[in-house]
């Protein structure tokens, strides 16, 4: 397995400090503390042999809980590490100008000499995505097959098509629903130094004295482009889309029988497109892991960290608690009709369904052994509590995980 470390990241503070210093994300001293912690954690992960490091992309979170990341943070972390690959989970495509993103990724991949991967996401947080995607009249979505959801998927697919063209070796023209290149598409883009570009630019850019095709540069260091991942997919339609497009789905599905069905679906659909993957290949699974002297000690750490704070107070409000469903819930809480109530958003349930592995090193390894036996995912994502608990504790736990679990499977 390849191991990916996932950070939110979080502006470090207790609940009381977050209340007293609100909005803490605007506090420069605390923001600098977060950057220092991110770099320290990245260095430790690099030294321990983690393969990948990732952040989500989110903005406007004044509470400082999920600050996300920009390409500049990846460049900063890359400058302080040696081997670990870096990338988002993921760039929210409907909120990006595709040419801007193509160039940003090209630069970042060149700067790091190929230490970049690219996660893709559709976006579920209205607070920041709706303002950023307003020109497209696209909104955040919860993958509910509504008209908003369909429009979001349409914009996502168009931006992805443009990115692949932009990373290619040839100038291109494109006309879609949301974007057209050149602009204006029919007449071409006016351009004064025609002779210069005709002589030294990419062949085909100029036609009839105007720009008729475009060619973003620099091209990525990796050819044809960095590895593509889908951020935290759950729906089967997303799994099918990933399989057909050669994208690696990082799934939040924890319940092992359902995860195996997802892996089988991906393998089956990928084969239709000519990809011959073994079961679990190019599949990622996300985990919270807490190792203690016993399960109760591990539970206490989880309660103070992401599962007890970030999940309960924040991400569950967007429906992520539905990932905790098990077959016996259908009688009491039919899926699609009755959501899991807050009384079910517990550490014990997370552990029971496999979203969280907690206990002694031997207990965590037994759970991981079964995951490998049943699915054998290529990517294992472990979440870290940076900013939510003391940094020394987080680093110590990271070292324990690497020694007691990760090294066992490498």
Pairing mode, if any, of strands 174-175 and 180-181?
A: antiparallel
pLDDT digits (tens, 9 = 90+) for 311-334: 888 888 888 888 899 999 999 999
pTM: 0.94
- For the chain, helix (H) and strand (E) counts, in that order, are 15, 15
Give Cα separations from 216 to 131, 182, 205, 222, 384 (angstroms).
Answer: 26, 12, 11, 15, 36
Domains of the chain in sequence order:
1-89+234-308+354-410 (3.20.20.30)
Q: For helices 361-374 and 256-272, what crossing angle results, to 10°?
A: 40
CA angle 398–399–402, rounded 5-degree value: 85
Say if residue 155's pLDDT is above 90: yes
Given a contact cutoff of 8 angstroms between Cβ atoms, the answer to whether 9 and 69 are in contact is yes
Going by the DSSP 8-state scheme, the letter that residue 293 receives in this structure is: S
Instruction: Tell me which H or E stretch contains 271.
Output: helix 256-272
| Residue 287 scores a pLDDT above 90 | yes
Condensed to tens digits (0 to 9), the pLDDT of residues 165-219 reads 999 999 999 999 999 999 999 999 999 999 999 999 999 999 999 999 999 999 9
Beta-strand runs (E) in 7-64: 52-55
| CA–CA distance, 317 with 303 (Å, rounded to integer) | 17
- Say whether 206 sits in a helix, a strand or coil: strand
- Is the pLDDT reported for residue 144 higher than 80? no
Alpha-helical runs (H) found in 133-235: 147-166, 194-200
Do 239 and 233 form a contact (C-beta atoms < 8 A)?
yes
Do 123 and 95 contact (CB within 8 A), yes or no? yes
DSSP 341: P
Q: What mean pLDDT comes out for the span 362-377?
A: 96
Among 12-26, 84-98, 142-156, the least confident range: 142-156
Residue 354 is predicted with a pLDDT of 94
């Amino acid at each position: 397995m390849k191991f990916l470390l996932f950070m939110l990241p979080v502006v470090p503070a207790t609940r009381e400090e977050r209340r007293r210093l609100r909005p803490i994300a605007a506090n420069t001293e605390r923001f600098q503390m977060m950057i220092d912690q991110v770099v320290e954690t990245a260095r430790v992960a690099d030294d321990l042999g983690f393969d990948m490091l990732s952040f989500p992309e989110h903005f406007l979170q004044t509470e400082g809980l999920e600050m996300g990341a920009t390409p500049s943070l990846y460049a900063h972390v890359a400058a302080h590490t040696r081997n670990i690959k870096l990338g988002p989970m993921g760039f929210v495509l409907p909120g990006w100008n595709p040419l801007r993103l193509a160039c940003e990724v090209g630069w970042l991949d060149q700067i790091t000499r190929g230490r970049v991967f690219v996660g893709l996401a559709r976006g579920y947080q209205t607070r920041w995505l709706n303002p950023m995607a307003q020109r497209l009249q696209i909104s955040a979505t919860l993958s509910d097959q509504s008209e908003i959801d369909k429009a979001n998927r349409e914009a996502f697919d168009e931006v992805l098509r443009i990115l692949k063209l932009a990373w290619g070796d040839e100038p291109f023209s494109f006309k879609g629903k949301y974007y057209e290149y050149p602009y204006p598409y029919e007449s071409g883009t006016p351009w004064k130094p025609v002779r210069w570009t005709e002589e030294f630019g990419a062949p085909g850019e100029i036609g009839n004295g105007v720009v008729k095709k475009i060619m973003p540069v620099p091209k990525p260091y990796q050819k044809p482009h960095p590895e593509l991942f889908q951020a935290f997919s759950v729906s089967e339609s997303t799994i099918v889309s990933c399989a057909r497009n050669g994208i690696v789905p990082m799934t939040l599905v924890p319940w092992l029988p359902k995860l195996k069905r997802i892996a089988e679906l991906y393998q089956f659909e990928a084969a239709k497109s000519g990809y011959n993957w073994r079961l679990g290949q190019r599949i990622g699974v996300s985990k919270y892991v807490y190792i203690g002297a016993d399960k109760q000690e591990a539970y206490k750490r989880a309660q103070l960290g992401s599962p007890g704070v970030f999940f309960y107070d924040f991400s569950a409000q967007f429906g992520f608690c539905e990932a905790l469903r098990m077959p016996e819930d259908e009688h009491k809480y039919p899926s699609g009709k009755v959501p899991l109530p807050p009384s079910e958003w517990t550490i014990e349930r997370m552990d029971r369904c496999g979203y969280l592995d907690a206990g002694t090193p031997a207990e965590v390894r037994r759970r991981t052994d079964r995951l490998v036996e049943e699915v054998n995912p290529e990517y294992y994502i472990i979440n870290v509590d940076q900013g939510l608990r003391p940094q020394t504790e987080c680093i110590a736990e990271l070292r324990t995980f690497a020694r007691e679990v990760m090294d066992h499977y490498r």
